[in-house]
Chain A
């Protein structure tokens, strides 16, 4: 395995609060790595340090062989960043926003093709604020792909979306992975991690509790004799919901 991201003993302190407390992990090229954890566990802080948006207190982060201490600009050119709650320049149409980011990344792109990747080509003359929640997230992901990044960071990409939109986004994320892009995402939905992630790290109170593949983690738990208090039915309420409302994306 060839790690494209190496995080070693990363610490971030705010005054007397330690948000990230000695985190270490590697992410291999081409995998989807998920950081799981409850709200306030330090997922976003960790991600933002890796995205060079936040200063770390100590530790080391190496992305594609570049250190975030020295080569911030070089790193920014090979990563795509989707922020948990990003804003886009007001009053601009989607294709103009794509052009703006193309300029910011110094690349030539065809806005139509970019929007087609995330199935928004019909919305090219809409403004960001007019989009639905799922469309906003898809557009946000679209802007991360403009510079054909080696790694993309997705911070809670599906939070607040309906089940159809979540599934739609999962497909998009899988599609991006199939092109060889490494993806690092955070989520607090376990079903999402189970479906998407090759490996997950569970983070709590700023510390990594465990890192492994979702399958191994579940098997290990079962080996300890764990049993669900209520045996799972063959379907969940979400399955019922999707069955009743259809799997198609409700965009408009």
Chain B
């Protein structure tokens, strides 16, 4: 009799297991559809931009250069329609980050009354800085100085934008490892044991370690395969739409970004040998 090869038996299990996984709809859903949905959902979440809501009191004199400058700042969302009392309560709740009124006094000086709230201190102080900068500029221009004492030169370094997915990534990573370990291996063996499949295997000459190895190998292969598909969808589909400049244009960066992150998750989980 030829020498019995555990490896050959192991590959037989791997092959059978792969066939079984591919025909199992839940495996396909968990490995392909779920990650895709997660990526898309988190990708959209990260699309939100930083906005400061500023309420402008009714009856304010809007015909002044400060207000006009404020209107040009895209980060600011100026709310003009609401009644003063209502605005005040919104301010207390932090739904509005600041409140301003513009009144010219009898000397013709523009008095800007600004209220911020402890419910939203960061945005309030952001607004304060913006407002004082505009006021300083206005005041400075009145002095008609030809050469300023100090000059600020600004340069923004091109970098990787911070996105919500970066914040979510560690959690997803952990969950991915957890599900790989629990669903991918433990549950499979529990179910194979309950359905007596393992018992039938034990009646053949393969040893226990090679049964586990064979199962793990098939999951590793499937995991790599589904990662490749997800990365390919991310790379080709979203890039493609960007080239055409279609409807998805405004989100495309988000998608690229999340696919980039997710591919790193997948690679990590693959590195840990199953999913």
Contacts and interface: CB of A to CB of B under 8 A. Distances in A.
B265 to A, nearest CB: 27
A91 to B, nearest CB: 4
B20 A104 contact: no
B141 interface: no
B199 A86 contact: yes
A100 interface: yes
22 contacts: A73-B4, A73-B205, A73-B207, A76-B203, A87-B195, A88-B200, A89-B20, A89-B192, A90-B197, A96-B16, A99-B12, A99-B15, A100-B12, A100-B13, A100-B16, A102-B12, A103-B12, A103-B15, A104-B13, A104-B201, A106-B2, A106-B8
B208 interface: no
Interface stretch (A7-15, A21-29, A77-85): A77-85
Contacts of B5: 106
A200 B98 CA distance: 96
B206 A90 contact: no
Nearest to A51: B203
Contacts of B23: 91-92
Given A73-B4, A85-B196, A106 B203 contact: no
Contacts of B205: 73, 76-77, 104-106
A86 B207 CA distance: 19
Contacts, number: 87
Interface string B11-42: 11101110110011000000000000000000
Given A76-B205, A89-B20, A103 B11 contact: yes
Contacts of B24: 90-91
A101 interface: yes
B195 A96 contact: no
A190 interface: no
A103 to B, nearest CB: 2
What secondary structure prevails in chain B residues at the interface with A? Answer: helix
B16 A89 contact: yes
B202 interface: yes
A53 interface: yes
A62 B204 CA distance: 18
Interface residues of A, number: 28
Interface range for B: 20 to 34
B9 interface: yes
Contacts of B11: 103
Nearest to A81: B203
B5 to A, nearest CB: 6
Nearest to B207: A73
A42 B70 CA distance: 91
Given A103-B13, A103-B15, A105-B204, A88 B197 contact: yes
Contacts of B19: 91-92, 96
Contacts of A83: 196, 199-200, 203
A71 to B, nearest CB: 11
Given A92-B16, A99-B12, A102-B12, A77 B195 contact: no
Contacts of B195: 87, 90
B48 to A, nearest CB: 43
A47 to B, nearest CB: 11
A77 B4 contact: yes
Most chain B CB atoms below 10 A, which of A77, A79, A103: A103
A152 to B, nearest CB: 11
Contacts of A103: 8-9, 11-13, 15-16
B204 A104 contact: yes
A104 B206 CA distance: 6
Most chain B CB atoms below 10 A, which of A79, A85, A87, A92: A87
Interface string A47-63: 00001110000000000
A196 to B, nearest CB: 22
Contacts of A86: 196, 199-200
Interface string A90-115: 11100011011111111000000000
A83 B17 CA distance: 21
B1 A77 contact: yes
A93 to B, nearest CB: 8
A96 B195 CA distance: 18
B140 to A, nearest CB: 76
A100 B218 CA distance: 14
Given A52-B203, A89-B20, A99-B12, 11 more contacts: A73-B4, A73-B205, A81-B203, A83-B199, A86-B199, A86-B200, A88-B197, A92-B16, A104-B13, A105-B204, A106-B5
Interface string A24-52: 00000000000000000000000000011
Contacts of A99: 12, 15-16
